[in-house]
Structure 1
Amino acid sequence: MTQTHIELIKVWFIFSFSLGCWTCLNLLISRRGDRQVKNTILIFIILLLAPPLNAYLGLVNSQPTHWIATLAHKLTWCYGPIMVALIRHILLRPIGRLSYLLQALPFALFFMHDLLHLKIISLPVMVTLLFVHIFSYLGYAIYLLKAERLRLLKLTTQFKNTSYYWLIYLVGSLSFIMLVDVGVFTSLLRGQFPSFTALAAIASLVAIFVNTIALFSLYQPDVFFHEIKPQEEPKPETKPHLRSIELSPEAARQLDEQLQELVKNHKPHLDEDISLPKLASLLGVTSHQLSELLNIHKNTSFYDFLNDLRYQESLNFLATNENELTIADIAYRSGFNNRNSFYKVFKEKTGLTPSQYKKYQTTSN
Structure 2
Amino acid sequence: MNDLTELKLLVIFSLLAAANLMVLFLILFFKKNNTLVNKVLGLLVFIPSVVLIINPLLYLEYFSEYLVFIFLGSSTTFLFGPLLLFYIYLVQGNNYQFKRKHLIHFFPVFIVTIYGIYINLQSKEFIHENYLRIVSGEDLVTNIIYLAQIIHFAIYITWSIRKVNRMKTKKYISIADKTNYKWLRFFVTRLLYLNILILIVYVVQMSFFPNYIMYSDLLATPLVSSCFYPIMVYKSFTNKVTYDTDVFDKKELSSVENNKEQKENVEDLQTTLTLILEHLNQNKLYLKSDYTIFELSKDLQLSQRLVSDTINQVMGKNFSDLMNDFRIEESKIILLEKSKDLTIDAIAELSGFKSRATFYRVFKDKTNLTPAQYVKTFNSVS
TM-score normalized by the length of structure 2: 0.50
Q: Structure 1 pair 37/100, CA: closer, same or farther in 2 (3 Å)? A: farther
Q: Which moved more, 1:6-15 or 1:16-25?
A: 6-15
Aligned to 1:103: 105
Matched-pair contact (CA < 8 Å) for 1:20–1:208 = yes
Aligned to 2:26: 25
Deviation of the 1:212 alpha carbon: 0.9
Task: Pick 1 or 2: higher relative contact order, CA cutoff 8 A, min separation 6.
Answer: 1
Aligned to 2:79, the other structure's residue is in SS state: helix
Deviation of the 1:60 alpha carbon: 4.1
Aligned to 1:171: 188
Matched-pair contact (CA < 8 Å) for 2:17–2:222 = yes
Q: Which runs of 5+ in 2 are unaligned?
A: 121-129, 131-139, 241-282, 285-329, 364-382
Amino acid at match of 2:9: L
Amino acid at match of 2:155: S
Aligned to 1:38: 38
Aligned to 2:220: 202
Deviations along 1:196-249, one digit per CA (max 9) or x if unpaired, are 341333332343235413542565499xxxxxxxxxxxxx99xxxxxxxxxxxx
- The answer on 1:133 being equivalent to 2:152 is yes
Aligned to 2:162: 143
Matched-pair contact (CA < 8 Å) for 1:20–1:45 = yes
Matched-pair contact (CA < 8 Å) for 1:51–1:204 = no
Matched-pair contact (CA < 8 Å) for 2:78–2:108 = yes
**What is the alpha-carbon distance in structure 2 between the residues aligned to residue 257 and residue 180 of structure 1?**
46
Deviation of the 1:66 alpha carbon: 2.6
Aligned to 1:250: none
**What is the alpha-carbon distance in structure 1 between the residues aligned to residue 91 and residue 5 of structure 2?**
44
Deviations along 1:236-268, one digit per CA (max 9) or x if unpaired, are 99xxxxxxxxxxxxxxxxxx9994551595473
Q: Structure 1 pair 18/167, CA: closer, same or farther in 2 (3 Å)? A: farther
**What is the alpha-carbon distance in structure 1 between the residues aligned to residue 188 and residue 227 of structure 2?**
12
Deviations along 1:296-336, one digit per CA (max 9) or x if unpaired, are xxxxxxxxx9633545855345669xxxxxxxxxxxxxxxx
**What is the alpha-carbon distance in structure 2 between the residues aligned to residue 116 and residue 189 of structure 1?**
29
Deviation of the 1:195 alpha carbon: 0.5
Matches within 5 A, 1:1-365: 2=2, 3-31=4-32, 35-61=35-61, 63-64=63-64, 66-93=67-94, 95-98=96-99, 101-117=103-119, 130=149, 132-149=151-168, 159=179, 168-176=185-193, 178-179=195-196, 195-213=213-231, 215-216=233-234, 219-220=237-238, 259=333, 262=336, 265-266=339-340, 268=342, 270=344, 307-311=350-354, 313-316=356-359
Aligned to 1:287: none
Aligned to 1:241: none
Q: Structure 1 pair 184/198, CA: closer, same or farther in 2 (3 Å)? A: closer
Matched-pair contact (CA < 8 Å) for 2:21–2:49 = yes
Matched-pair contact (CA < 8 Å) for 2:201–2:216 = no
Matched-pair contact (CA < 8 Å) for 1:134–1:178 = no
Matched-pair contact (CA < 8 Å) for 1:19–1:208 = yes
Matched-pair contact (CA < 8 Å) for 2:37–2:87 = yes
Aligned to 1:277: none
**What is the alpha-carbon distance in structure 2 between the residues aligned to residue 312 and residue 12 of structure 1?**
43
Amino acid at match of 1:268: L
User: CA-atom RMSD, angstroms?
Assistant: 5.0
Amino acid at match of 2:48: L
Aligned to 1:116, the other structure's residue is in SS state: helix
Amino acid at match of 1:24: F
Deviation of the 1:20 alpha carbon: 2.0
Aligned to 1:31, the other structure's residue is in SS state: coil
Matched-pair contact (CA < 8 Å) for 1:170–1:210 = no
**What is the alpha-carbon distance in structure 2 between the residues aligned to residue 42 and residue 187 of structure 1?**
31
**What is the alpha-carbon distance in structure 1 between the residues aligned to residue 78 and residue 239 of structure 2?**
32
Matched-pair contact (CA < 8 Å) for 2:164–2:184 = no
Matched-pair contact (CA < 8 Å) for 1:24–1:42 = yes
Matched-pair contact (CA < 8 Å) for 2:157–2:192 = yes
Deviation of the 1:137 alpha carbon: 2.2
Deviation of the 1:83 alpha carbon: 2.4
Q: Structure 1 pair 135/22, CA: closer, same or farther in 2 (3 Å)? A: closer
Aligned to 1:55, the other structure's residue is in SS state: helix
Amino acid at match of 1:50: V
Aligned to 2:21, the other structure's residue is in SS state: helix
Q: Which runs of 5+ in 1 are unaligned?
A: 223-235, 238-255, 275-304, 321-365
Q: Structure 1 pair 132/47, CA: closer, same or farther in 2 (3 Å)? A: closer
**What is the alpha-carbon distance in structure 2 between the residues aligned to residue 79 and residue 150 of structure 1?**
27
Deviation of the 1:32 alpha carbon: 5.1
**What is the alpha-carbon distance in structure 1 between the residues aligned to residue 28 and residue 163 of structure 2?**
27
Q: Structure 1 pair 97/114, CA: closer, same or farther in 2 (3 Å)? A: same
TM-score normalized by the length of structure 1: 0.52
**What is the alpha-carbon distance in structure 2 between the residues aligned to residue 154 and residue 307 of structure 1?**
8
Amino acid at match of 1:106: P
**What is the alpha-carbon distance in structure 2 between the residues aligned to residue 149 and residue 212 of structure 1?**
28
Aligned length in residues: 256
